[in-house]
């Protein structure tokens, strides 16, 4: 690997990057180390989730994931974790399928 991880983030850990507070969440399934990151009302999901053409949250793409079923379970668990912060969550952002203006409810309905 061309880099070394000096401090792996724990589920729910908050870090400050510049002037941003970022909360990290574990969402294994796409890969064992998949994470989501919440800052300024945006939950960055990377490849851990996709948004369908009819604006539904889907789990990670099965052909490119180590355990897609675990990925769906991780996203549902994350929705539960974020329920108490629902007023803070404004946008779900994925790596390849865009974003969705939604809160934890949309994430909890993952298919």
Cβ neighbors of 68 (< 8 A, separation 6 or more) are 29, 30, 59, 60, 61, 62
> Distance from first CA to last CA of the chain, Å, rounded?
33
Instruction: Tell me: pLDDT of 3 over 90.
Output: no
pLDDT digits (tens, 9 = 90+) for 65-107: 999 999 999 999 999 999 999 999 999 999 999 999 999 999 9
- 5 pLDDT band (50/70/90 cuts)? confident
Contact 59, 68 (CB under 8 A): yes
Say whether pTM exceeds 0.75. Answer: yes
Provide the mean pLDDT of the chain. Answer: 94
Tally of helices (H runs) and strands (E runs) in the chain: 2, 8
C-beta neighbour count of 68 within 10 angstroms: 17
């Amino acid at each position: 690997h061309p880099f070394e991880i000096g401090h792996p983030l724990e589920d729910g850990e908050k870090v400050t990057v510049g002037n941003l507070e970022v909360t990290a969440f574990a969402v294994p399934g796409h890969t064992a180390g998949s994470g989501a990151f919440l800052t300024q009302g945006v939950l960055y999901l990377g490849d851990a989730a996709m948004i369908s053409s009819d604006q539904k949250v889907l789990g990670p793409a099965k052909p490119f994931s180590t355990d897609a079923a675990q990925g769906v379970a991780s996203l549902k668990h994350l929705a539960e974790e974020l329920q108490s912060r629902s007023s803070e969550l404004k946008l779900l952002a994925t790596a390849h399928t865009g974003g969705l203006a939604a809160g934890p409810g949309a994430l909890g309905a993952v298919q």
